[in-house]
Amino acid sequence: MTSSAAASESSALAPPIAAGTALPAGYKVDSARTIIFGTNESWTGRLSYSTASSADEVFDFLHKEMPNFGWSEVTAMRSDPSVFTFNSASTGRTATITIARSVALKNTKVDMVVATSNAGAKP
């Protein structure tokens, strides 16, 4: 999976609200679990999607590509489920991403929760 393939796939399939995040090629939004507030690169909420890529492929993809969208990795734990936390200083948001294998459906489920962040805020 390449970032250029993902970018072209994302632009074709992604709702504009997912702007500013890395999304793997061939992902499918789970509209029943997705709730987004705002637009462009200031959206917050939960973006849920599935992909035919393995959980390890999605983990590696996000680890490599999220920084290209201005996100800094804070924590990462590869397990089942795998979990990432990223911060975006430019947009003042934090993203927590959970990646889980779905053996029954033979796909990978991803939940990306994006919220405003107090990181770096002074009391």
Domain ranges of the chain: 3-116
> What pLDDT is attached to residue 120?
52
Spatial neighbors of 81 by CB under 8 A, at least 6 apart, are 55, 98, 99, 100, 101
The pLDDT, as a whole number, for residue 42 is 86
3-116 topology per CATH: TATA-Binding Protein (3.30.310)
Whole-number pLDDT of residue 38: 86
pLDDT averages per 10-residue partition of the chain, 123 residues: 38 56 92 90 93 95 96 96 96 96 88 84 52
Q: Is the pTM of this model over 0.85?
A: no
